[in-house]
């Protein structure tokens, strides 16, 4: 158990939320993790528990108890990685379709985390969880760009950039049907499906805000090639939103994209571009992943050359 102690010594800091104050005092613990520690009773103010929204006061003495890191149930594996960018703080990887991000029941090896633990020798423990350095995710059958933190300060800052919607994300997808509007946006909230636990649903009672913009690049009578810019990061967001307007991603069997007319072995969804600020230097970074061969082949065989 690691312990941190702080005192509110400035009038400028008084009346700030507890989680905001603590986030500004150190670089090792993200604000989201601080909230979890507060909820678990591991943060005290003058010896007493307070909620994350407590307004700190001049003279308050605050203690944080940080539990030991969760044991990582994953082993390093020499799996090849397509690295787009890497420095001491972060790594950008072009993930192939079919690769799972982190170990889970049914996928105990061969994951991105297994590969990263071999490539980055000191990655274990970043973020204090069993998914070291992971700040966002892609579904198994979605290809493209993913960013991983290699240091605790980078992890904290990247998590906050994603949460505050400061990272530009652009996806490419091939969807069923002729999407009539050249561009539009979808604002339906997303939550867990009440019956099918592997699915998400816009009609869920516990839905959270979700917002996706899209533009049609090319259309035919039976499929459309679209660019999508999700502004939030809900589970299956693009897949659910496109299915909700009756244009599911081709190859997405879970949300209605299966069809004998379309030859795709997986969902035709690719994380194409990411733009963000470097979590330590503040420099603007822009990463690009070209359309993978299976999606390119589909488009070319149907008369469009991307």
139 is catalytic: yes
d(CA 133, CA 115): 13
d(CA 225, CA 222): 11
Helix (H) or strand (E) holding 241: helix 237-244
Burial letters for 150-163: b for 16+ Cβ neighbours within 10 Å, e otherwise? bbbebbbbbbbbbe
Catalytic member of 19, 94, 139, 141: 139
Between CA 137 and CA 145, with CA 141 as vertex, the angle to 5 degrees is 45
Single out the residue of 103, 115, 126, 150 nearest to residue 29, CA to CA: 126
d(CA 297, CA 306): 10
Backbone angles phi, psi at 284, to 5 degrees: -75, 130
Which residue pairs from 120-128 have beta carbons closer than 8 angstroms and sit at least 24 positions apart in sequence? Answer: 120/91, 120/150, 122/150, 123/148, 123/150, 124/69, 124/72, 125/69, 125/72, 126/150, 126/151, 126/152, 126/155, 127/30, 127/33, 127/152, 127/155, 127/159, 128/33, 128/66, 128/69, 128/70
Distances (CA, A) of 291 to 50, 66, 97, 99, 227: 49, 43, 12, 17, 12
- The residues carrying an active-site annotation are 139
């Amino acid at each position: 158990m690691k312990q941190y102690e702080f005192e509110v010594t400035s009038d400028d800091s008084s009346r700030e939320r507890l989680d905001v104050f603590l986030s500004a005092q150190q670089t090792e613990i993200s604000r989201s993790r601080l909230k979890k520690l507060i909820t678990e009773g591991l943060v005290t103010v003058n010896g007493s528990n307070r909620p994350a929204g407590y307004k700190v006061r001049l003279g308050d003495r605050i203690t944080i108890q940080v539990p030991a890191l969760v044991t990582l149930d994953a082993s390093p594996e020499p799996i090849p990685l397509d690295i787009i960018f890497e420095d001491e703080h972060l790594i950008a990887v072009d993930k192939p379709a079919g690769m799972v991000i982190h170990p889970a029941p049914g996928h105990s090896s061969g994951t991105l985390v297994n590969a990263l633990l071999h490539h980055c020798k000191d990655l274990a423990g970043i973020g204090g969880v069993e998914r070291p350095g992971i700040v966002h995710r892609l579904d198994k059958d979605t290809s493209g760009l993913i960013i991983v933190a290699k240091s605790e300060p980078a992890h904290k800052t990247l998590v906050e950039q994603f949460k505050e919607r400061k990272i530009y994300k652009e996806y490419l997808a091939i969807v069923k049907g002729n999407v009539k509007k050249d561009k539009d946006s979808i604002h339906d909230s997303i939550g867990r499906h009440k019956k099918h636990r592997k699915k998400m649903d816009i009609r869920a009672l516990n839905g959270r805000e979700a917002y996706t913009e899209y533009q049609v690049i090319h259309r035919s009578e039976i499929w459309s090639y679209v660019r999508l810019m999700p502004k939030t990061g809900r589970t299956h967001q693009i897949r659910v939103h496109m299915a909700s307007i009756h244009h599911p991603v081709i190859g997405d069997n879970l949300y209605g994209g299966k069809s004998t007319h379309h030859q795709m072995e997986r969902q035709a969804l690719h994380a194409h571009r990411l733009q963000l600020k470097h979590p330590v230097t503040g420099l603007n970074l822009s990463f690009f992943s070209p359309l993978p061969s299976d999606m390119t082949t589909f488009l070319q065989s149907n008369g469009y050359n991307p």
